[in-house]
Amino acid sequence: MNQILVTEKLYITPELKKKKKMYKVNFILSILVIIVLAVIYFFTEYNRNQAEAFSQEILEGAGTEDTTTIKADNEVLILALDSYEDKTVSTVEETNYSVETTSSGKYEAPNGKTYNKVGEINIPSINVNYPILSETSDALLKVSVCKFWGGEPNEVGNLCIAGHNYRNKKFFSKVINLKEGDIIEIKDLKERTLQYEVYTTYTVDPNDVSCTSQITNGEKRVTLITCTNDSKQRVIVQAREKKL
């Protein structure tokens, strides 16, 4: 019996005790790392979901301050809808005129920041519907998709729109699934909606900006720009106005 105890005591050496202690420490550290990573992941997803909700607020809330353009005898009068007087209207009504209503595209958030949109993008095949913010920056790309280059929506030229690929079905994450023939709808601030048909998709190096060329031979085109899933390259989707 004493021999068994001595043997067992000799078997649990100081080196083995040290290894067991290190194993416990490493195990605890691994658990802590997993918890930290999980917290970061859920916090990031929370922020992205908040951004998604906020972009939809802009989509629904922007453009409440409409402007009316009244054209009469080659003279253009810009009137705020809530500011012109009956006298002004009656004077214009005596001539031939047309009225064109244009949304301001401005949205003032509860935090006091103002966001400007130039239009809206809707891609039915991948369930994408976002406001197009008027310029591109790191901060704005976290809010919605942004105009990266080009002229105004639904005008001759190449409207380039950039958006994040978060690999979570939000923003431009599903743009990589678009294929030739898919439809992209662009709504401008004049409430016009045009359909664009995808004619090419490809990937390029991040420094290659040839897709932003404005030489369109008089066509109206749209270019969507996002990252590949590994963020090493850029996905380019180009569409031209669909002829009815």
Per DSSP, the chain holds a count of helices (H) and strands (E) of 4, 12
Distances from the Cα of 58 to the Cα of 105, 117, 120, 194, angstroms: 9, 8, 10, 21
User: Looking at 15-24, 62-71, 178-187, which range is the least confident one?
Assistant: 62-71
What is the pLDDT averaged over residues 106-124? 86
Q: For residue 221, which of 195, 191, 203 has the smallest C-alpha distance?
A: 195
Q: Which of 48-52, 85-89, 159-163, 228-232 has the highest mean pLDDT?
A: 159-163
Residue with tokens 């005129």: 97
Q: Are 184 and 132 in contact (CB under 8 A)?
A: no
pLDDT score of 74: 36
Q: Report the percentage of the chain scoring pLDDT > 90.
A: 48
Q: Are 55 and 144 in contact (CB under 8 A)?
A: yes
Q: Are 203 and 146 in contact (CB under 8 A)?
A: no
pLDDT: which is higher, 191 or 12: 191
- Residue-wise pLDDT for 207-236, tens only, equals 999 999 999 999 999 999 999 999 999 999
**Paired strand residues for 181:** none
Q: Report the percentage of the chain scoring pLDDT > 70.
A: 66
pLDDT: which is higher, 25 or 91: 25
